Structure 1
Amino acid sequence: MTRTAIVGNGGGGKSTLAREIASAFGTPHTEIDKLLWQEGWVETPPEVYERQHATVIAENRWVIDGLGRLDLIPQRLGRATEIILIDMPLWMHFWLAAERQISWVRGALEHTPGGLSAMPPTEALFQAIWEVERSWMPKIRALCSEAEERGKAVTRLASVEEINAFAAKIRGD
């Protein structure tokens, strides 16, 4: 796992899995939300985000999780040596995102998205998850299929159980 890109809709466990992979292989980890968002959920200026994204994907070893901007996902997937697509049913993304919001409110969330201190507005988060499923995921699935046809390793994880089993395999459990 030299350059692993983990993509999928919000709340699906991309960052948690990325931390596991990075730890197991001693690989640098970048969470796209840290590049895309500034405190208060203010989007990073496009030119800054593009420059940071290009710098990260140019490295020889990485684990990158998240979506960021749709127009830059093909660059990341093109540079990746392995792609992990977390592609669970929409209701599961809503469920897991709601659990994360509740944990955040309770002060029990160990890793906040992007390391941000302010919780994203729940309505905006759910709207984003809906839009990603409707508009982005068909394109992302197609990009993953095209990469696989070109011989790239693509792993599709469609449930929490599959994600947990994959993480256990990485840990050697």
Structure 2
Amino acid sequence: MRKIAVFGKPGSGKSTLSKALASATGIPLHQLDSIVYKKNGELVDRQSYDEAHGDILSSDSWIIDGFGPIDSFNQRLQAADTLVYIDLPYWTSYWFVTKRLLKGLFVKPEGWPDGSSVLKGTLESYKVLRQCPKFWNGRIIDRLDRLSAEKSVYIVSSVSELDNFVRQTID
């Protein structure tokens, strides 16, 4: 476990899980939102993103939290030795996004890009969640099943599994 991709729907707990994994393993954590967005919340130019993403992928070890552009997601799936797909029920993701907004009024959310609007990000998360069934469906499960022949693949499907993942996987 040296190159770990953590992914799933908005509000699924990717940042919290990734931070705990980084703490437990000492592997550097790279949150995609910090290379996808500028400090003001605008998207970085694609070339800058691709360069930063490529630099991370070429390093000896990493944890990458997030999705990003589809082609970079596909690159991560190939480069990683460990895939962690957080597949919580939609109602849970909606609740976590809402909870992040409420807490974000007082404290910057886990993994949130500096200077980005929590309200704007929340509205974007709701929008993306509505579109998620087009991607996060049986096809991704089938793909992960195929990849499990050559990689460690974990599918986290409940809050309890999410809460206990690091302890059960690393310890």
1:65 maps to amino acid: D
> For residue 13 of structure 1, what is the aligned residue in structure 2?
13
Q: How many residues align?
A: 169
Q: Is the 8 A contact 1:21 1:170 kept in 2?
A: no
- Give the SS at the match of 2:134: helix
Q: Does 2:97 match 1:97?
A: yes
- Give the SS at the match of 2:4: strand
Query: 109-118 vs 152-161, which deviates more?
Result: 109-118
Where structure 2 has 5 or more consecutive residues not aligned to the other structure, the ranges are none
Identity of aligned residues (%): 25
d(CA) in 1 for partners of 2:140, 2:119: 24
d(CA) in 1 for partners of 2:35, 2:119: 16
In structure 2, do the counterparts of structure 1 residues 81 and 154 end up closer, same or farther at CA, with 3 Å as the change threshold?
same
- Give the SS at the match of 2:40: coil
Alignment of 1:81-96 (within 5 A): 81-96=81-96
1:14 maps to amino acid: K
Q: Does 2:141 match 1:141?
A: yes
Q: Is the 8 A contact 1:20 1:171 kept in 2?
A: no
> For residue 164 of structure 1, what is the aligned residue in structure 2?
163
In structure 2, do the counterparts of structure 1 residues 141 and 39 end up closer, same or farther at CA, with 3 Å as the change threshold?
farther
Q: Is the 8 A contact 1:6 1:18 kept in 2?
A: yes
> For residue 39 of structure 1, what is the aligned residue in structure 2?
39
d(CA) in 2 for partners of 1:127, 1:61: 33
Tell me the CA shift for residue 165 of structure 1: 1.3
Q: Residue deviations 1:20-76, cap 9 Å, x none?
A: 111111111000111111133211111111111111011111111100111211111
Q: Is the 8 A contact 1:70 1:136 kept in 2?
A: no
- Give the SS at the match of 2:113: helix
d(CA) in 1 for partners of 2:119, 2:141: 26
Measured on the aligned residues, the alpha-carbon RMSD in Å equals 1.8
d(CA) in 1 for partners of 2:50, 2:75: 11
Tell me the CA shift for residue 91 of structure 1: 1.3
Q: Is the 8 A contact 2:5 2:83 kept in 1?
A: yes
Where structure 1 has 5 or more consecutive residues not aligned to the other structure, the ranges are none
